[in-house]
Amino acid sequence: MPQTYTHTFDTPLYKGSITINIGLFIDGKWVDPVDGGDRIDVVDPCTGKVITSVAGGTSKDVDIAVAAAEKAYKTSWGLKVPGSERGKLLAKLADLVEQHGDELAALEALNVGKPFHMAKMVDIMTITVQSLRYYAGWADKIQGKTIETNENKMAYTRHEPYGVVGAITPWNIPIAAAALKIAPLLATGNVAVLKPSEVTPLTALYFADLVNKAGFPPGTVNIINGYGSTVGDAISRHPSIRAIGFTGSILTGRKILKASAESNLKKVALELGGKSPTIVFDDAELDQAIKWASGGIFSNMGQGCVAGSRIYVQEGIYDQFLQGFKKSAEVLTDATGGPFEPGAQHGPQVSSLQFERVMGYINSGKTEGANVLIGGERQGDTGYFIKPTIFTEAKADMKIMQEEIFGPVCSVVKFKTEEEVTEWANNTTYGLSANVLTTNVARSIRMANNLEAGSVWVNSGPVVDMAVPFGGFKQSGNSKEFGQYALDAYTQVKAIHINIDPVDGGDCIERFLQSTWFLSTIAAKEVVQQKLLNDARDDVTVRGRYCHTTRNLKRVKNIFCPGCSKSHWSTSRSARVYLHDVGTMSMSPRVELPSAPSGHTEAPVHGSVELSFKSQQPCPELVCIEFGTPIHVKLPHLSGDHKVSLLQK
């Protein structure tokens, strides 16, 4: 049986016990890995001690989860469930997350190390709850377009789900990142196989039970703990997963793209890293600029893809800004502590690996000649705490100016002109976001237009809005989250063409041909006058009056003229048959028909036509055979051998 873990909190900010399942969530049930799997330690970043160990899956577990998801998609979700019903379930899930906000925030704070109040206010209430509610509202509004082409055609599009969608989420905002993928993919009718980060899986596991409580069909959401090299790779390569959403590093994003290319070319939506600039002009409101710059880099201990780690300040206020900015870092340093300590605003890095990575960048900056204004070292001797760090005198080609650090480390650089700072800001392979602080409206618009970034905030820091798309340029990603644009990652567009030409097939294919010795076979609907049994459009010719071909016509006989009491022609040959006015039938081999009897050239044909044919495909719904005055015959969808006798009305 899958194990559970109970954690008891006895802190000034939160008291209580929380029990979570620590197995795999597949088909609405908690299960153990098929082969036993690995146990993955979950570590408290404040102490470095193990909190618990969760089950780690393998590719076999991914196979089982995908099978459960496919079954759910085909039987109890997808387009079988109206969008309004999908929306109701998402709204109910949002309510449950809100009701359990304290528990989720406590687990998030414990696992990530971020302050409890930040986890609840930002991760749970602002992003997770709002994203579920926002996309609940979109569930019954997934609409295509009617496209005008010409008066004889109606064309429209449908936005359809992919089916099984993989989601791989990061460790910095675990529950929020999961919701930003789960909500739009469920709203659009897809089903999910989610791999949370092996570093921070606790809130995803708690979330799974809320999915069940909300009433989602089993298999709609499946959650597989595991490492990227096993579970992540299996999701990226699985042939039945049609699309995947990933948030994380450029390196891993490339691996997922490669795995998709080597498997089934699944749709891959990437939200990757950044090296965001914060640009402060002389005319900016200084206090506001310091506040937004500080929050932009030090929030969540610098562990954010939008972290403004390159801060450019115009020379006229550079010294004043630097003095105030340093003071803000000092305040944060003094407010460093565990997530449940009252007044704590700055916590640890998420893991020992991330701690060593960030310290490596700090040491690199020192080695390359940048000046440490404040910080530049660990704080305390327990856990993974790093002091907020500010570099000055950094050069554009230094690692700390070019690579994503993902920690509380930034560089402040002086600039002179708008043109100069624009060039510097764009001098990176990233293009996720940028911040501009100025009171000059025209300048703010110019800067926003010229910066190579998917999001630009003017006179604020990176504060997201659920209705506004978020996603990067260049190597920062290829897709959008938030807003209506996020739906594009989880839908595929189908175009539908309908012929409504009353002459060429739109009105039940009524044709009135007035040629004397004339046979016309007219197929219904899509391929008008170009199809009887199989497609023959490449054989259609028009010579004076209309003529037609059929590929599978086996025998046409007994076109009987009472004027001379003779059958003028018959054939049992297949292949091409062309009927012109009177006198010639072209086929292989060519057969010459006798001329029409004297006096019959313009006279209507009377008699019967018998068609014997073998259908390789279902027959058209409607076939008209007309000679002289119209004959209108309806045939059902048939296949096989048929004989049809047609008499003129």
Active site residues: 271
Phi and psi dihedrals of 70, rounded to 5? -60, -45
Q: Which residues contact 383 (CB under 8 A, 6 or more apart)?
A: 44, 45, 46, 47, 48, 113, 348
Q: State the Cα–Cα distance between residues 419 and 318, nearest whole angstrom.
A: 17
Closest listed residue to residue 103, CA positions, set 23, 205, 199: 205
Rounded distance between C-alpha atoms, residue 577 and residue 568, angstroms: 15
- Residue 47's contacts (CB-CB under 8 Å, 6 or more residues apart) are 382, 383
End-to-end CA distance of the chain: 76
CA distance 267 to 495: 18
Q: Are 57 and 39 in contact (CB under 8 A)?
A: no
d(CA 265, CA 257): 9
* Crossing angle of the two packed helices 174-187 and 202-214, in degrees rounded to 10: 30
Burial group, residue 405, by CB count within 10 angstroms (0-12, 13-18, 19+): buried
Identify the bridge partners of residue 156 per DSSP, sorted by sequence position: 146, 496
**Cis previous bond, 630, omega within 30:** no
CA 555 to chain centre: 54
Which of helix, strand or coil describes residue 107? helix
DSSP state of 209: H
* Count of alpha carbons within 13 angstroms of residue 110, beta-carbon side: 26
Sequence-ordered list of residues with C-beta below 8 angstroms from that of 436, at least 6 positions apart, any chain: 279, 281, 444, 447, 448, 451, 456, 457, 458, 459
Amino acid type, 134: Y
φ and ψ of 108, to 5 deg: -65, -45
In angstroms, how far is CA 188 from the centroid of its own chain? Answer: 10
* Residue at token pair 């206090």: 287
Decide: helix, strand or coil at residue 97. helix
DSSP code of residue 563:
T
Question: How many CA atoms does the CB half-sphere of 622 hold within 13 Å?
Answer: 18
- Say what the alpha-carbon torsion angle 20, 25, 31, 35 is, to the nearest 10 degrees: -120
Neighbour-count burial for 304-319, b at 16+ CB within 10 Å, e otherwise: bbbbbbbbbbbeebbe
b or e along 124-144 (b: 16 or more beta carbons within 10 Å of the residue's beta carbon)?
Answer: bbbbbbbbbbbbbebbeebee
Q: Is 297 helix (H, G, I), strand (E, B) or coil?
A: helix
